[in-house]
Amino acid sequence: MTLLEQLPDQASEVALITGWIESARPDAGPVRILEAGCGNHWPLAVPDAHLTGLDLDADALRIRREELGDLDEAVVGDLVDADLPDGGFDVAYCAYVLEHVPAADRVLGNLLRWVRPGGLVVVKVPDPHSVRGAVTRVTPHWFHVAYWRYVVRYPHAGEPGYSPYPTFYHPVISRAGLRRFAAETGAEIVAERGDSRYNGDAPGLLGRAIGRFVSAVATASRGRLTATHDNLLVILRRP
Protein backbone atom coordinates (compact mmCIF):
# COMPACT_ATOMS: atom_id res chain seq x y z
CA MET A 1 0.00 0.00 0.00
CA THR A 2 1.29 3.48 -0.85
CA LEU A 3 2.77 5.68 1.85
CA LEU A 4 0.07 7.67 3.62
CA GLU A 5 0.34 11.45 3.23
CA GLN A 6 0.42 13.20 6.60
CA LEU A 7 -1.39 16.29 7.88
CA PRO A 8 1.11 18.56 9.68
CA ASP A 9 -1.36 20.02 12.19
CA GLN A 10 -5.02 20.34 13.12
CA ALA A 11 -5.42 23.61 11.22
CA SER A 12 -4.41 21.82 8.01
CA GLU A 13 -6.96 19.09 8.68
CA VAL A 14 -9.74 21.60 9.31
CA ALA A 15 -8.85 23.50 6.12
CA LEU A 16 -8.87 20.28 4.09
CA ILE A 17 -12.24 19.11 5.42
CA THR A 18 -13.98 22.48 5.14
CA GLY A 19 -12.65 22.85 1.61
CA TRP A 20 -14.22 19.57 0.59
CA ILE A 21 -17.48 20.47 2.35
CA GLU A 22 -17.58 23.71 0.39
CA SER A 23 -17.09 21.71 -2.81
CA ALA A 24 -20.29 19.81 -2.01
CA ARG A 25 -22.36 22.97 -1.46
CA PRO A 26 -25.48 23.03 -3.67
CA ASP A 27 -26.18 25.85 -6.10
CA ALA A 28 -28.97 27.19 -3.88
CA GLY A 29 -29.63 26.99 -0.16
CA PRO A 30 -27.36 25.97 2.73
CA VAL A 31 -25.06 22.96 2.63
CA ARG A 32 -26.84 20.15 4.48
CA ILE A 33 -24.49 18.40 6.92
CA LEU A 34 -25.21 15.29 8.96
CA GLU A 35 -22.90 14.98 11.94
CA ALA A 36 -23.16 11.26 12.65
CA GLY A 37 -22.32 10.49 16.26
CA CYS A 38 -22.14 14.21 16.91
CA GLY A 39 -21.32 14.11 20.62
CA ASN A 40 -21.04 17.33 22.58
CA HIS A 41 -18.77 19.42 20.33
CA TRP A 42 -18.21 20.41 16.67
CA PRO A 43 -14.67 21.22 15.47
CA LEU A 44 -15.56 22.99 12.21
CA ALA A 45 -16.94 26.38 11.25
CA VAL A 46 -18.99 26.16 8.05
CA PRO A 47 -21.05 29.25 7.15
CA ASP A 48 -24.56 28.91 5.75
CA ALA A 49 -24.93 25.28 6.81
CA HIS A 50 -27.91 23.28 8.05
CA LEU A 51 -26.42 20.99 10.72
CA THR A 52 -28.21 17.84 11.86
CA GLY A 53 -26.74 15.97 14.82
CA LEU A 54 -27.45 12.26 15.27
CA ASP A 55 -26.26 10.46 18.41
CA LEU A 56 -27.31 7.52 20.55
CA ASP A 57 -26.11 9.35 23.67
CA ALA A 58 -28.97 11.60 24.77
CA ASP A 59 -26.74 13.18 27.45
CA ALA A 60 -24.21 14.25 24.82
CA LEU A 61 -26.96 15.82 22.72
CA ARG A 62 -28.32 17.63 25.78
CA ILE A 63 -24.86 19.05 26.53
CA ARG A 64 -24.47 20.04 22.88
CA ARG A 65 -27.78 21.91 22.85
CA GLU A 66 -27.18 23.61 26.20
CA GLU A 67 -23.54 24.61 25.73
CA LEU A 68 -23.13 25.18 21.98
CA GLY A 69 -26.64 25.45 20.60
CA ASP A 70 -25.28 25.00 17.08
CA LEU A 71 -27.50 22.16 15.85
CA ASP A 72 -30.42 22.99 13.59
CA GLU A 73 -31.80 19.52 14.31
CA ALA A 74 -30.91 17.01 17.02
CA VAL A 75 -31.88 13.34 16.62
CA VAL A 76 -31.43 10.71 19.32
CA GLY A 77 -30.88 7.44 17.45
CA ASP A 78 -28.62 4.55 16.55
CA LEU A 79 -26.44 5.01 13.48
CA VAL A 80 -27.17 1.40 12.53
CA ASP A 81 -30.94 1.77 12.11
CA ALA A 82 -31.78 5.49 12.27
CA ASP A 83 -34.63 6.55 9.98
CA LEU A 84 -33.12 9.32 7.87
CA PRO A 85 -34.00 10.15 4.25
CA ASP A 86 -31.94 8.67 1.44
CA GLY A 87 -29.97 11.45 -0.25
CA GLY A 88 -31.11 13.93 2.39
CA PHE A 89 -27.66 15.48 2.98
CA ASP A 90 -24.79 16.94 1.00
CA VAL A 91 -22.17 15.80 3.53
CA ALA A 92 -22.02 13.23 6.33
CA TYR A 93 -19.30 13.84 8.91
CA CYS A 94 -18.35 11.03 11.30
CA ALA A 95 -15.32 11.54 13.56
CA TYR A 96 -13.99 9.02 16.09
CA VAL A 97 -17.29 7.13 16.18
CA LEU A 98 -17.03 4.05 13.96
CA GLU A 99 -14.40 2.37 16.15
CA HIS A 100 -17.07 2.28 18.87
CA VAL A 101 -19.72 0.55 16.71
CA PRO A 102 -19.81 -3.26 16.34
CA ALA A 103 -21.65 -2.94 12.99
CA ALA A 104 -19.47 -0.16 11.58
CA ASP A 105 -19.79 -1.53 8.04
CA ARG A 106 -23.58 -1.06 8.19
CA VAL A 107 -23.14 2.48 9.47
CA LEU A 108 -20.80 3.33 6.59
CA GLY A 109 -23.40 1.99 4.19
CA ASN A 110 -26.03 4.19 5.81
CA LEU A 111 -23.83 7.29 5.62
CA LEU A 112 -23.23 6.73 1.92
CA ARG A 113 -26.97 6.24 1.39
CA TRP A 114 -27.95 9.32 3.39
CA VAL A 115 -25.88 11.69 1.23
CA ARG A 116 -27.05 12.64 -2.25
CA PRO A 117 -25.34 11.23 -5.34
CA GLY A 118 -22.04 13.10 -5.56
CA GLY A 119 -22.24 13.92 -1.85
CA LEU A 120 -19.37 13.32 0.58
CA VAL A 121 -18.79 11.10 3.60
CA VAL A 122 -16.02 12.36 5.88
CA VAL A 123 -14.63 9.62 8.16
CA LYS A 124 -12.06 10.02 10.93
CA VAL A 125 -10.95 6.96 12.91
CA PRO A 126 -7.92 5.88 14.96
CA ASP A 127 -5.79 3.60 12.76
CA PRO A 128 -5.74 0.11 14.36
CA HIS A 129 -2.34 -0.47 12.74
CA SER A 130 -0.78 2.52 14.46
CA VAL A 131 0.85 2.11 17.86
CA ARG A 132 -1.84 4.23 19.48
CA GLY A 133 -4.61 2.23 17.80
CA ALA A 134 -3.05 -1.07 18.80
CA VAL A 135 -2.76 0.04 22.43
CA THR A 136 -6.40 1.13 22.32
CA ARG A 137 -7.45 -2.28 21.00
CA VAL A 138 -5.68 -4.33 23.69
CA THR A 139 -6.35 -2.19 26.77
CA PRO A 140 -9.60 -2.10 28.80
CA HIS A 141 -12.03 0.78 28.82
CA TRP A 142 -11.05 1.91 32.33
CA PHE A 143 -7.51 2.48 31.03
CA HIS A 144 -8.87 4.75 28.27
CA VAL A 145 -10.85 6.75 30.83
CA ALA A 146 -7.78 7.10 33.05
CA TYR A 147 -5.63 8.23 30.08
CA TRP A 148 -8.13 10.91 29.09
CA ARG A 149 -8.59 12.08 32.66
CA TYR A 150 -4.98 12.14 33.90
CA VAL A 151 -2.86 12.51 30.74
CA VAL A 152 -5.09 14.51 28.40
CA ARG A 153 -6.50 16.32 31.46
CA TYR A 154 -10.11 15.94 30.33
CA PRO A 155 -11.98 16.24 33.66
CA HIS A 156 -15.31 14.78 32.50
CA ALA A 157 -13.80 11.65 30.91
CA GLY A 158 -16.13 8.68 31.25
CA GLU A 159 -19.04 10.69 32.66
CA PRO A 160 -22.49 10.48 30.99
CA GLY A 161 -22.38 12.43 27.74
CA TYR A 162 -18.58 12.51 27.53
CA SER A 163 -15.95 10.36 25.82
CA PRO A 164 -14.19 7.97 25.80
CA TYR A 165 -16.62 5.20 24.87
CA PRO A 166 -15.92 1.43 24.65
CA THR A 167 -14.13 0.39 21.45
CA PHE A 168 -14.85 -2.56 19.11
CA TYR A 169 -12.83 -2.02 15.89
CA HIS A 170 -14.83 -3.74 13.16
CA PRO A 171 -12.46 -4.91 10.33
CA VAL A 172 -13.70 -2.07 8.09
CA ILE A 173 -12.03 0.38 10.47
CA SER A 174 -8.59 0.40 8.86
CA ARG A 175 -7.02 1.88 5.77
CA ALA A 176 -7.37 -1.40 3.87
CA GLY A 177 -10.90 -1.93 5.20
CA LEU A 178 -12.08 1.51 4.09
CA ARG A 179 -10.51 0.97 0.68
CA ARG A 180 -12.34 -2.36 0.35
CA PHE A 181 -15.60 -0.68 1.35
CA ALA A 182 -15.09 1.99 -1.33
CA ALA A 183 -14.33 -0.62 -3.99
CA GLU A 184 -17.39 -2.71 -3.08
CA THR A 185 -19.80 0.25 -3.07
CA GLY A 186 -18.36 2.18 -6.00
CA ALA A 187 -17.50 5.15 -3.79
CA GLU A 188 -14.52 7.30 -4.75
CA ILE A 189 -11.84 8.09 -2.19
CA VAL A 190 -11.14 11.77 -2.83
CA ALA A 191 -8.83 12.33 0.17
CA GLU A 192 -6.82 10.05 2.45
CA ARG A 193 -4.53 11.44 5.17
CA GLY A 194 -2.92 10.53 8.47
CA ASP A 195 -2.27 12.61 11.55
CA SER A 196 -0.49 12.25 14.87
CA ARG A 197 -1.94 13.40 18.20
CA TYR A 198 0.02 11.96 21.12
CA ASN A 199 2.35 14.95 21.60
CA GLY A 200 -0.67 17.25 21.58
CA ASP A 201 -2.35 15.13 24.25
CA ALA A 202 0.57 15.65 26.62
CA PRO A 203 2.96 18.50 25.77
CA GLY A 204 6.36 18.83 27.38
CA LEU A 205 8.32 16.00 28.97
CA LEU A 206 5.38 13.59 29.14
CA GLY A 207 4.58 14.14 25.46
CA ARG A 208 8.19 13.48 24.48
CA ALA A 209 8.20 10.33 26.64
CA ILE A 210 5.04 9.08 24.92
CA GLY A 211 6.65 9.82 21.55
CA ARG A 212 9.72 7.75 22.45
CA PHE A 213 7.49 4.90 23.65
CA VAL A 214 5.52 4.97 20.38
CA SER A 215 8.70 4.89 18.30
CA ALA A 216 10.13 1.99 20.35
CA VAL A 217 6.95 -0.08 20.00
CA ALA A 218 6.81 0.56 16.25
CA THR A 219 10.44 -0.56 15.88
CA ALA A 220 9.84 -3.68 17.97
CA SER A 221 6.80 -4.58 15.84
CA ARG A 222 9.05 -4.90 12.74
CA GLY A 223 6.72 -2.99 10.49
CA ARG A 224 3.41 -4.34 11.75
CA LEU A 225 2.63 -1.05 13.53
CA THR A 226 3.37 2.51 12.45
CA ALA A 227 4.57 5.49 14.45
CA THR A 228 4.14 7.98 11.59
CA HIS A 229 0.48 8.62 12.39
CA ASP A 230 -2.27 7.74 14.88
CA ASN A 231 -5.46 8.54 12.99
CA LEU A 232 -6.95 8.19 9.52
CA LEU A 233 -8.99 10.77 7.61
CA VAL A 234 -10.80 9.37 4.58
CA ILE A 235 -13.28 11.32 2.46
CA LEU A 236 -15.58 9.30 0.18
CA ARG A 237 -17.74 10.57 -2.67
CA ARG A 238 -21.03 8.76 -3.35
CA PRO A 239 -21.25 7.61 -6.97
| Top-tier CATH class for 10-237 | alpha beta
pLDDT tens digits, residue range 155-176? 899 888 888 888 988 999 999 9
Compute φ and ψ for 55, nearest 5 degrees: -155, 145
Average pLDDT, the chain: 90
d(CA 44, CA 221): 36
H-state helical runs in the chain: 10-23, 58-63, 104-114, 131-138, 141-150, 175-185, 198-201, 205-220
CB-side exposure of 165: number of CA atoms within 13 Å? 18
**pLDDT on residue 199:** 53
Q: How confident is the model at residue 198 (pLDDT cuts 50, 70, 90)?
A: low
pLDDT tens digits, residue range 84-130? 999 999 999 999 999 999 999 999 999 999 999 999 999 999 999 98
